[in-house]
Amino acid sequence: MNDGFLRASHRESHTSPTPVTAGEPTAFEVGIRPVHHRFAAGHRIGVRVSGGAADVLTPDASPVDVTVSTGPGTSTLIIPAVPE
């Protein structure tokens, strides 16, 4: 497993957090550590989006709802490929 995480308010800066506006689409770039894994044809990748990771981050004071838009022109997952 390779975990990447980012507190939403730190999406622009870790020193000057910016609140997320409820109901407004917001872009996030979450880095993960590179791994030496080759995906064979037909393999799948799982992505989990949540309102927090209690074992890693300090929980938010209030409950969080997370909505991920799907379909053309919405969410994008970019996984860089290393040429052979």
- Structural domain contains residue 80: no
With respect to residue 67, please indicate whether it lies within any of the assigned structural domains: yes
Structural domain containing residue 46: 1-75
Q: Flag whether 69 is in a domain.
A: yes
Residue 81 domain-assigned? no
Q: pTM for the complete prediction?
A: 0.51
Q: Judge whether 68 and 75 are in contact, CB under 8 Å.
A: yes
Question: How many domains does the chain divide into?
Answer: 1
Confidence grade of residue 84 (pLDDT, cut at 50, 70, 90): low
Quote the radius of gyration of the chain (alpha carbons, Å): 15
Average pLDDT over residues 70-81: 78
- The predicted pLDDT at position 11 comes to 83
User: pLDDT tens for residues 3-57?
Assistant: 666 777 878 888 888 888 888 888 777 777 777 777 788 888 877 776 666 666 6
Q: Is residue 12 part of a domain?
A: yes
